[in-house]
């Protein structure tokens, strides 16, 4: 049975691979992006506008998330599954990484907001729809950067 699936942070990387796989399996997808509009629109063109819609939202901002949920629901009729995949931009470059003594709390806060606050906002926004229909699924993808930070000590 075809489902409508919102994947946050899905205009590129792992998120793009997830939405491509879902459409191959006959699902409809909502491609969320924050800054990568062109990549998101290219992905919609590749997948077909009957199967995918791109919606810009900074998932760390609750009001933006609520608008995204409303827009996605209006477009497809409902959302069946949410995949919390969005993370703050991270580029692996050990030579450019700051050492621990150079990091600020804001560096950590950005990662916390991008991982936890984003998933919290999206989950809290979609749960009323899931409760009303008495069904829905939430999948959250995290990172091991907290356990294994890429910081040269």
CATH at residue 39: 3.40.50.720
Between 54-68, 86-100, 111-125, 133-147, the lowest mean confidence (pLDDT) is in 86-100
| Listed residue (87, 82, 77) closest to 33, CA to CA | 87
Between 6-10, 63-67, 118-122, 142-146, the lowest mean confidence (pLDDT) is in 142-146
pLDDT attached to residue 153:
47
The predicted model scores a pTM of: 0.87
Task: Flag whether pLDDT at 146 surpasses 60.
Answer: no
| Listed residue (21, 147, 144) closest to 5, CA to CA | 21
pLDDT attached to residue 101:
82
Structural domain of residue 38, as residue ranges?
A: 4-140
pLDDT attached to residue 106:
83
Q: Is residue 151 part of a domain?
A: no
Q: Is residue 43 part of a domain?
A: yes
Q: Is residue 71 part of a domain?
A: yes
Task: Flag whether pLDDT at 144 surpasses 80.
Answer: no
**113's tokens:** 């907001």
Residue 1: burial class (beta carbons within 10 Å; 0-12, 13-18, 19+): exposed
Tally of structural domains, the chain? 1
Q: Is residue 149 part of a domain?
A: no
Q: Is residue 114 part of a domain?
A: yes
């Amino acid at each position: 049975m075809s489902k409508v699936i919102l994947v946050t942070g899905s205009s590129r990387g792992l998120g793009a691979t997830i939405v491509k796989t879902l459409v191959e399996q006959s699902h409809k997808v909502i491609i969320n992006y924050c800054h990568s509009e062109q990549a998101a629109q290219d992905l919609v063109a590749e997948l077909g506008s009957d199967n995918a819609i791109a919606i810009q939202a900074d998932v760390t901002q609750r009001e933006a998330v609520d608008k995204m949920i409303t827009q996605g629901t209006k477009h497809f009729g409902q959302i069946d599954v949410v995949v919390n995949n969005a993370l703050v931009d991270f580029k692996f470059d050990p030579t450019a990484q700051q050492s621990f003594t150079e990091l600020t709390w804001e560096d950590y806060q950005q990662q916390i907001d991008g991982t936890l606050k984003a998933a919290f906002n999206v989950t809290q926004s979609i749960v009323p729809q899931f409760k009303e229909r008495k069904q829905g699924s939430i999948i959250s993808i995290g990172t091991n950067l907290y356990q294994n930070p890429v910081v040269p000590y």
